[in-house]
Amino acid sequence: MNQDRYIARQPIMTVDGKLYGYELLFRSIENDGLHRAQFVDGTVASTNVAVNVLNYIGVQHVVGNDKAFINVDESFLFSEAILSIPKKVFILELLETIVFDYRVIDRIIELKKLGFSFSIDEANSNPNFVEDLKPIFKYIDILRLDADIFDKEKFEKNMEILKEFKFDLLAEKVETQEEFNYFKELGCSYFQGYFFAKPDLMKQKALDPVFKEVFDLINLLDNESSIDDISNAFENSPDITIQLLKFMNSGVLKINTNIRSIKHAIALLGRKPLKQWLFLIAFSKSDNVVDGMHSPVIILAQSRSVLMTQLALTLSSYKVDAHEASLVGILSLVDVITEAPMKDILKELTVSSAIKEALLNQSGKLGELLELTICIETSNMEKSNRILNELNVSNEKLKAAILESYNI
């Protein structure tokens, strides 16, 4: 049975919503010869393989200029291979399976002197973690708290002891705004989880005029309005027009001619790509998005869009339009970014019934691709395995699609 691997990455955010880095999760894919990808989930498939995968893919390609968290077991901690990891980029997560005896502590001290940074993975899963881990607390940089198993009473009793040390707190598996608020009050500096991609349905906020302006332009494109009408609408939105012309002249699209007018820009770019660009512009204008296009929500929307596009192209027999798949990926987070209910947003947009069903119910072929994409993001192996078997996706094509989604 052939085996392959890919990297799943989960964003880690700062307390003010900026992207700090990614936890890199290594997953095995076993091919049974029928081109069906099966996932073998483990805490670490092999830390040594992790280094090889990173060397093959390239650190810059996966995490850019952000931090990368990587799981480390005891055998890898003592291996020479660990010295090849770029210590300014990587934070080594010490797994709970490690026994912190004097030999391990000496190795951590040695690596710390070389400039490596450490976090303790799921420390709170151990009821006696303060007593057991206190000898190494002064050598770690981040203490991870698992929201799923977090014992508030026990942890808060230890707060005075923990304040003696200089490490930061990272709350992982944070799923709700309430959990985020609690861990923020507790003093956590970093957060990992899906809470930023889940809208607060209690807000029922009206659609902001900024989004309405962009959505009006999108509807003109969808309604097959004339180039003159679309150009006039852009000219009545000078801020959006300026951003479009900057984008067109940035060199990203490798256009070998200067843009003469907004009409020229629309003709060169095309309606569907222009529509997708408009959605991203709307997202970057949101008050709910910190640091513009570098927001974790924007990055997630972009990577979803690319991954769904690649999956649609891969599944040619599935007969899903790649542009529609891309649009579903972008729109899947529009309720988070606009802070308005999805059903209300879709009333403002001229989109197909297939797109609406995918976004509201994750139904239909587009909905199935969205469900698969979210499973890959969250490392939900059981669901991923089921959907991939149904779609008959080979591991090589899956890997290529995932890697392409990182290149944004």
Asked if residues 310 and 318 have their Cβ atoms less than 8 Å apart, the reply is no
Same domain, 376 and 319: yes
Same domain, 11 and 159: yes
Same domain, 91 and 186: yes
CATH of the domain at 293: 1.10.3210.10
d(CA 373, CA 368): 9
Query: In the chain, pLDDT over 70 holds for what percent of residues?
Result: 72
Same domain, 130 and 228: no
Ramachandran area for residue 339 (φ above 0: left; ψ -120 to 50: alpha; else beta) = left
Lowest mean pLDDT among 201-210, 265-274, 298-307, 308-317: 201-210
Same domain, 154 and 276: no
Same domain, 262 and 347: yes
Q: What pLDDT score was predicted for residue 189?
A: 93
pLDDT 10s digits, 88-132? 888 999 887 888 899 999 999 999 999 999 998 755 556 677 777
Please state the rounded mean pLDDT for residues 40-52. 47
Same domain, 228 and 326: yes
Same domain, 193 and 247: no
Asked if residue 203 is part of any domain, the answer here is: no
* Of 271, 268, 231, nearest in space to 252 by CA: 268
Work out whether the CA dihedral 396, 40, 68, 329 comes out positive or negative.
Answer: positive
CATH of the domain at 147: 3.20.20.450
Work out whether the CA dihedral 255, 210, 339, 225 comes out positive or negative.
Answer: negative
Cα angle at 215 between 210 and 218, to 5 degrees?
A: 140
Asked if residues 216 and 233 have their Cβ atoms less than 8 Å apart, the reply is yes
* Largest distance between two CA atoms of the chain: 75
**Beta carbons within 8 Å of 152's beta carbon, 6+ residues apart:** 182
Helix (H) / strand (E) containing 364: helix 364-378
Same domain, 56 and 168: yes
Q: In this structure, how many other beta carbons lie within 10 angstroms of the beta carbon of residue 326?
A: 24
Lowest mean pLDDT among 64-68, 318-322, 378-382: 378-382
Note down the domain range covering 350. Answer: 209-406
Q: Which residue has the higher pLDDT, 325 or 55?
A: 325
Helix 271-284 vs helix 262-269: crossing angle, to nearest 10 = 110
Last residue of a domain, one of 197, 222, 241: 197
Burial 14-52 (b: 16+ CB within 10 A, else e): bbebebbbbbbbbbbbebeeeebbbbeeeebbbbeebbe
Asked if residues 37 and 393 have their Cβ atoms less than 8 Å apart, the reply is yes
Q: What are phi and psi of 45, to 5 degrees?
A: -65, -45
Asked if residue 12 is part of any domain, the answer here is: yes
Same domain, 189 and 225: no
Same domain, 145 and 69: yes
The reported pTM is 0.65
pLDDT 10s digits, 280-321? 676 655 544 444 445 677 778 778 888 888 888 887 777 888
- Domain count of the fold of the chain: 2
Residue type, 245: L
* Of 25, 289, 278, 13, nearest in space to 172 by CA: 13
Residue type, 408: I
* Of 316, 328, 317, 323, nearest in space to 369 by CA: 328
Q: What pLDDT score was predicted for residue 103?
A: 94
DSSP letter string, 83-147 = GGS-TTTEEEEE-TT----HHHHHHHHHHHHTT-EEEETTGGGSTTHHHHHHHHHTT-SEEEEET
Same domain, 133 and 166: yes
Statement: residue 60 has pLDDT above 50: yes
Asked if residue 168 is part of any domain, the answer here is: yes
Q: Tokens 């309604």: give the residue.
A: 223
Tokens of 272: 């569907």
Asked if residue 202 is part of any domain, the answer here is: no
